[in-house]
Amino acid sequence: MAIVIMEGKISELSNGVVSNRYTDYAFVTIGGKRMRRIRIDHHLDSFIRVGAVVRMACTKSFGHHMALAIQESNGEISKSDIGPIVFTTLLHFVGSLIIGAIVALFTYLFSNSVFMTVCAYAAFILGVPYMTTGSFYKARNALNGMAAPGEAAIA
């Protein structure tokens, strides 16, 4: 999953649908570029307003973009809460343990090699959570060390 960093002035913002932890927007236009189907948690949602100059790091997740970090024009970086990301990673890890056991069973039945079975199981239980949630951690830290979005970002 790719990480998208958008920078500029927020010029358009659709009406948000508020759920338990997130606000879902149909679109947000930043710096003249429109991002559709974006989900922002309530803490970061307070920084999303028309006219604000921001830099926002997102990742695509299950058909929508997930905003995980926002940098304001003064340089302050606000990040999404890490708890739900860790919980999602743990759920993916538990699911990969269960499905990995099935993969390991079939690997052993078809290869009769304990080494191949252990390698397949280890690759599956470590690879699946990294591939599914690794971009969340990368997007959350993508803005670290960047200069504040300045006047050049205003479109």
> Are residues 49 and 112 both part of a single domain?
no
pLDDT value at 150 more than 90? no
Cα–Cα nearest to 64, from 101, 96, 23, 36: 36
Same domain (yes/no): 22, 66:
yes
* pLDDT, tens digit, 9 for 90 and up, residues 83-141: 888 998 899 899 999 999 998 999 999 988 999 999 999 999 988 888 888 888 888 89
Q: What is the pTM of this model?
A: 0.79
The predicted-structure confidence for 42-84, as pLDDT tens digits, reads as follows: 888 888 889 889 999 999 877 889 999 999 988 889 998 888 8
pLDDT tens by residue, 125-135 = 988 888 888 88
Q: Would you say residue 118 lies in a domain?
A: yes
Residue 53 located in a structural domain: yes
The total domain count for the chain is 2
Question: What is the pLDDT, as a whole number, of residue 57?
Answer: 93
CB-based contact 124:105 (threshold 8 Å):
no
Same domain, 76 and 87: no
Q: Are 55 and 47 in contact (CB under 8 A)?
A: no
User: Is there a single domain that holds both residue 66 and residue 112?
Assistant: no
Q: Which domain holds residue 7?
A: 3-80
| pLDDT at residue 8 tops 60 | yes
91 lies in the same domain as 102? yes
| pLDDT of residue 155 exceeding 60 | no
* One domain, residues 18 and 69: yes
Helix axis angle, 82-111 to 114-140, nearest 10°? 160
* C-alpha dist (Å) from residue 149 to 18, 33, 50, 123: 28, 16, 16, 40
Please indicate, yes or no, whether residues 110 and 45 belong to a single structural domain of this protein. Answer: no
Residue 73 lies in a domain: yes
Which residues, at least 6 apart from 127, have a Cβ–Cβ distance to it below 8 Å? Answer: 96
Residue 57 located in a structural domain: yes
Q: Are residues 16 and 67 in the same domain?
A: yes
146: in domain? no
